[in-house]
Chains A and B, each alone.
Chain A
């Protein structure tokens, strides 16, 4: 068994976890039905392999069970990113019952060789469809995909595809915008605070979307932002959140993974917008809502395609209308008026009448970055390197 592979080094930093998508990657159609899965670990060129077996041809066995596997970067119960994916996996189990067999592996490092080992482990065991849910798994997934042309792979948050490897991600900025509305309505003094992980384009884009949402209901609202340079460091997040409260903020939100920000808000009587999952239990009084991921619809569709033998590679970028991103249930602090405002904005976004970054958008110095009547192309959004008007803090250079 050749364990060569893994050319690219680096990329093991955790912050590379869920970065840019490339919507422009066009659908690369290729009829790769599968169902054979088994240890077809050939020498791996894979390039020739259109291998379009029909759905039924794979199954000499009539009751062929489709085996689906997930490769997670964090613990399954992190209450955030990985939990959201695992909920999707559970939805697949519920949907298909005996037709499908699922498995997962947690805490897989983004170090290429280790990630490839985890992914290949499933391919070798005869899994038919393998979801890899972290940006750093992109190249390892591609390598393994080349070696196992009869297995299909789905990579989340990257931009590379192959005949048997699709990618998928979602427009979280839409949900951030709606959550920002809740924050803008809740603040009494117009000062918001956000605990951020890294000053990378994804986090900047989501921070801006939140600010624009807040100002859509509260035009004078401002926001202070601090960076902890870590996805997961509860004590530092706590210090960061305290500093925002001390600086005057009365609503806090976050682009980091632990609920420490909410605990600080809860203890101080401030309000809180979480991220990734419903974490209201950590600070029920403070809880407003949270932008969350919901992968179940996509996972069910893709596993269905694998069962039917109609799976095709491609790039998927889901949005509010698709249900990939959503808002967690509201806390009691959100009033009825705000809820209805958010509901009507949501309709506009879902029907494409409104886009979060439609012009005019000004940066924090007041310069127009997106002129009236225009909407920036996705590439611009994915490379965003400025804060919008209303954000007081400067971006670390």
Chain B
């Protein structure tokens, strides 16, 4: 395999993986606060269709992105109301939200299926950085939303692990009782985390419909929201590892098609299976006690917090 081929795999892998990175980082924020958001797929769809529609109306892709983010956040707010305030089952609520969003986005986007967007995000070579041998071509000849992810991922990591805000958020996810006793608002923190996480999912969807494959087709996320949730486990709740994992999964997709072009038989079903296979392996690894203590899920993940049961 030539070095040229490897470079092109990573160039495509980063572009294809960015949507997973956005969605997974958002999911990490929500899960770190103790809320399992299974509605990511639906929030991505909402972001994709809203972003596309707004861009079509105003011909400004950044406004489309903003609208996509708001759509994801709005749907997440609905999830927060149900699972944080009304303590509904997080799994069931998340699933219901996805099914709702598939129908709703199909309806909203009905008139723009197969309609080209007026403006889209295109690849821009960053002056200077793109001249770095190999890495420059891989990382710095991408579109603006990919560059945005380069900023958002480390920023999220820094906030989660290096600031008091992040500490508070994680403590709510680990032990809401303790956090409550320490005077933190469990409800407020979880609302914020879920809504911000939904905003990321909306961004992931807008990236698909405005940059990656500029168009709208019903259900265009095609399961990427679920891969993102798997990626969170793969990344053991760290935004940095989620970015690595996202690029890796994206590269695996790119690799699969390239193997086909050189005449090697690789089933795309097999390729599609890979992220989940990785995730299962990681799940098995982290289920071992010693590793688990260092890396495992937020303790209160998936549980509603009921104050009187403290």
Q: Inside 8 A of B214's CB, which chain A residues have their CB?
A: 263
Contact B113 A75 (CB under 8 A): yes
Contact A79 B113 (CB under 8 A): yes
**Residues of A within 8 A of B (CB-CB), count:** 43
Tell me the bound Cα distance from A393 to B261 in angstroms: 6
**A residues 379-397 with Cβ under 8 Å of B?**
392-394, 396-397
Contact B222 A259 (CB under 8 A): no
Q: Inside 8 A of A230's CB, which chain B residues have their CB?
A: 222
Contact A235 B263 (CB under 8 A): no
The minimal Cβ–Cβ distance linking A349 to chain B, given in whole angstroms, is 29
**Residues of B within 8 A of A (CB-CB), count:** 39
Asked whether any CB of chain A lies closer than 8 Å to the CB of B297, the reply is: no
**B residues 151-168 with Cβ under 8 Å of A?**
none
Contact A260 B265 (CB under 8 A): no
The minimal Cβ–Cβ distance linking B59 to chain A, given in whole angstroms, is 15
Contact A235 B222 (CB under 8 A): yes
Asked whether any CB of chain B lies closer than 8 Å to the CB of A226, the reply is: yes
Contact A258 B217 (CB under 8 A): yes
Asked whether any CB of chain A lies closer than 8 Å to the CB of B290, the reply is: no
Contact B114 A243 (CB under 8 A): no
Asked whether any CB of chain A lies closer than 8 Å to the CB of B58, the reply is: no
Asked whether any CB of chain A lies closer than 8 Å to the CB of B32, the reply is: no
* In the complex, residue of chain A having the shortest beta-carbon distance to the beta carbon of B122: A267
Asked whether any CB of chain A lies closer than 8 Å to the CB of B86, the reply is: no
Contact A243 B257 (CB under 8 A): yes
Asked whether any CB of chain B lies closer than 8 Å to the CB of A214, the reply is: no
Tell me the bound Cα distance from A152 to B218 in angstroms: 32
The minimal Cβ–Cβ distance linking B206 to chain A, given in whole angstroms, is 13
Contact A78 B116 (CB under 8 A): no
Contact A394 B257 (CB under 8 A): no
Q: Inside 8 A of A240's CB, which chain B residues have their CB?
A: 257
Q: Inside 8 A of A267's CB, which chain B residues have their CB?
A: 122-123
Q: Inside 8 A of B115's CB, which chain A residues have their CB?
A: 77, 79
Contact A238 B212 (CB under 8 A): yes
Contact B110 A75 (CB under 8 A): yes
Contact A236 B222 (CB under 8 A): yes
Tell me the bound Cα distance from A392 to B258 in angstroms: 13
Tell me the bound Cα distance from A392 to B261 in angstroms: 8
Q: Provided the pairs A228-B268, A235-B213, A235-B220 are in contact, do residues A243 and B258 lie with their beta carbons within 8 angstroms?
A: yes
Tell me the bound Cα distance from A227 to B261 in angstroms: 10
Q: Inside 8 A of B269's CB, which chain A residues have their CB?
A: 229
Asked whether any CB of chain A lies closer than 8 Å to the CB of B215, the reply is: yes
Contact B113 A77 (CB under 8 A): yes
Selected from B12, B110, B222, B253, the residue in CB contact (under 8 A) with A246 is: B12
Q: Inside 8 A of A233's CB, which chain B residues have their CB?
A: 220, 222
Contact B253 A239 (CB under 8 A): yes
Asked whether any CB of chain B lies closer than 8 Å to the CB of A224, the reply is: yes
Tell me the bound Cα distance from A258 to B117 in angstroms: 13
Q: Inside 8 A of A396's CB, which chain B residues have their CB?
A: 265-267
Q: Inside 8 A of B114's CB, which chain A residues have their CB?
A: 77-80, 83, 258-259, 279
Interface hub of A243, A247, A260 (most chain B Cβ within 10 A) = A243
Asked whether any CB of chain A lies closer than 8 Å to the CB of B224, the reply is: yes
Contact A234 B265 (CB under 8 A): no
**B residues 215-270 with Cβ under 8 Å of A?**
215, 217-218, 220, 222, 224, 253-254, 257-258, 260-269
Q: Inside 8 A of A107's CB, which chain B residues have their CB?
A: 106
Tell me the bound Cα distance from A224 to B268 in angstroms: 16
Q: Inside 8 A of A193's CB, which chain B residues have their CB?
A: 261
Contact B261 A77 (CB under 8 A): no
Contact B257 A226 (CB under 8 A): yes
* In the complex, residue of chain A having the shortest beta-carbon distance to the beta carbon of B111: A77
* In the complex, residue of chain A having the shortest beta-carbon distance to the beta carbon of B219: A232
Contact A260 B260 (CB under 8 A): no
Q: Inside 8 A of A227's CB, which chain B residues have their CB?
A: 260, 268
Contact A235 B113 (CB under 8 A): no
* In the complex, residue of chain B having the shortest beta-carbon distance to the beta carbon of A234: B213
The minimal Cβ–Cβ distance linking A99 to chain B, given in whole angstroms, is 30
Asked whether any CB of chain A lies closer than 8 Å to the CB of B193, the reply is: no
Contact B257 A239 (CB under 8 A): yes
Task: Give B contacts to A, CB under 8 Å.
Answer: 5, 8, 12, 16, 19, 106, 110-111, 113-116, 122-123, 208, 212-215, 217-218, 220, 222, 224, 253-254, 257-258, 260-269, 272
Task: Give A contacts to B, CB under 8 Å.
Answer: 75, 77-80, 83, 107, 193, 224-230, 232-240, 242-244, 246-247, 257-260, 263, 267, 279, 281-282, 392-394, 396-397
Instruction: Report 25 cross-chain contacts, Cβ distance below 8 Å, ordered by A residue.
Output: A75-B110, A75-B218, A77-B114, A78-B114, A79-B113, A107-B106, A226-B257, A228-B268, A236-B253, A237-B213, A239-B16, A240-B257, A242-B254, A243-B258, A243-B260, A246-B5, A246-B8, A247-B261, A260-B215, A267-B123, A282-B116, A392-B263, A393-B261, A393-B263, A394-B265
